Amino acid sequence: MREVSIGEGFGRVNLIGEHLDYNGGHVLPLQIKNKIICKIVKNEINNFISIESDKYNDSFIIKKLERRNDWTDFIIGSCLFFEKRFSITVNNISISIKSSLPLGIGLSSSAAITVSTLKSLSNYFHKNMTDEELINLAFEVENDFVGVGGGVMDQFVSVLGNHNEALFLNTLNKNYELIPIFPDYEFLVIDSNTQRILSDTEFNKKKELCLTAAKKMKIKNLCTKSKINENDIKLLSVDELNVCKHVIEENLRVVEAAKYLRKNKAKEFGKLMTESHVSLSQYYGVSTDNLNKLVDLSNSFGALGSKLTGAGFGGAIVTLVKKELVEELKKYILDGYPNAKFI
């Protein structure tokens, strides 16, 4: 065991493709520089694990690796699943979490804390994991222990992404491609600074609608379809049709967006971002008045495109703007939305 072990997990902004990773679709996230750092040192408290974080200004003594229904579940779950994976006992350690990544605004802080903890545990106990093993274990922690219920996008980009290339991922077969982002433009993340309300409950409702629609159409994943036909319209409820419309058309938009990114066509890419936001708002029903206002302000300034990022119900947007205009855009946004924060 090492005396001190450090693990990092980066956040991400999803440029296009929201709510597709649990529907077998394509996504296009970009790793951001904001990250979570997990530091592990040996402690002298027998059979206990201590956890502290600068974000919560609190500390805990963990006697059993079981759910507490708070942010520590990602760390506890990581310790438990790491134990099972390597048949070892995880105890007598102090875990310290430091973060430059805003929590709960749709930038994948949950995947970042899980990945950083697993990396630090791996270093501390001298256990090697491949990138694929790390991604899969982090996914299992979030889904099977914490109960987040998302797809594999966040773990993938936290482990395999970088700050200069978007990760074009087929979540069904796990094939991916790193595509350089536009050199003269910036993907600016703007936090609405409003709490996400009922996000877990509403997220689960949307996911259930997708599963029910797929079952009715006798397919495993909605993204295996390329269009909604007349028979589908007869089978599905209005709410099911709406989520299907977003998922199926969004999947096509992501594939098209990746083509534009490869060809350095920023204007066309930005248009797809705004189309994505309209779909998330009108059909998937996960936007808010504040997110819509930030999108409208950004686009009225002259951004090439804007959309919410993450699950929605609050949180942040991402907008595509020329690098030379970023500071001017920030002033324009603050004039119309004083509570905005820039990531």
Q: State how far the Cα of 117 lies from the Cα of 36, in Å rounded to an integer.
A: 9
The Cβ-side half-sphere exposure at 67, using a 13 Å CA radius, reads 9
Compute the C-alpha angle 243/32/172, nearest 5°.
40
Instruction: Let me know if 154 is a catalytic residue.
Output: yes
Q: State how far the Cα of 217 lies from the Cα of 185, in Å rounded to an integer.
A: 41
Q: List the catalytic residue out of 21, 73, 154, 191.
A: 154
3-state secondary structure of 343: coil
Helix axis angle, 289-301 relative to 326-336, nearest 10°? Answer: 140
3-state secondary structure of 128: coil
- List, in order, residues 6 or more apart from 102 with CB less than 8 Å away: 34, 109, 191, 316, 341, 343
> Residue 305: enclosing H or E segment and its boundaries?
strand 305-309
Cα distances from 137 to residues 54, 167, 216, 268, 284, in angstroms, run 25, 20, 32, 37, 30
Point out the residues that are catalytic: 154
